[in-house]
Amino acid sequence: MDLPPPTSGATGFVYVPVPVAQVEDTFRFLAGLSEAGDEAHLGLERVVKRVYLESEERFRDLLRFLAGHPGRSFSTADIAEELRLPNGAASLAGMLGAFARRSKNRYDGFWPFERLYNSAQDRAELVMEDKVAALVNAIPLAS
């Protein structure tokens, strides 16, 4: 393909046909967001911040607690005690149920932490991965 020679001191344009289905990907590429990892990180950062900012204070406390101990799992009973929830693990279960609805309707099913079942100790546990914990910890407390 022969391109026209660049003109001295002027910016030239080349029109390139792009299939409609690939226009968005093309713009991302041109914007320097072609790395899937960069895009994924930006998306993760946005959703974590949104979850945090749209949450009530007690759920923010839960996020901060788990972010303060990345990679470490805690039983729901221990978390409820640490957060001084009025009805213990039942209060935490209510918070998680409310978040499940929000997650489905607002965040495309995203959860900022994992919910696990420890069969050896017959208990539910929560754990936040390092990457998400770093994003939560980067959100100013005044937010």
Give the C-alpha separation, 110 to 49, whole Å.
Answer: 12
Q: Label residue 22 by pLDDT band (50, 70, 90).
A: confident
pLDDT confidence band for 39 (50 / 70 / 90): very low
Each domain of the chain, given as residue ranges in start order, spans 34-137
What is the spatial order of strands in the sheet that 74-75 belongs to?
74-75, 123-127, 114-118
Provide the pLDDT for residue 5: 60
Place of tokens 């990345």: 70
| pLDDT tens-digit readout, 122-140 | 999 999 999 999 999 999 9
Does the global pTM surpass 0.95?
no
| Fold (topology level) of 34-137 | Arc Repressor Mutant, subunit A (1.10.10)
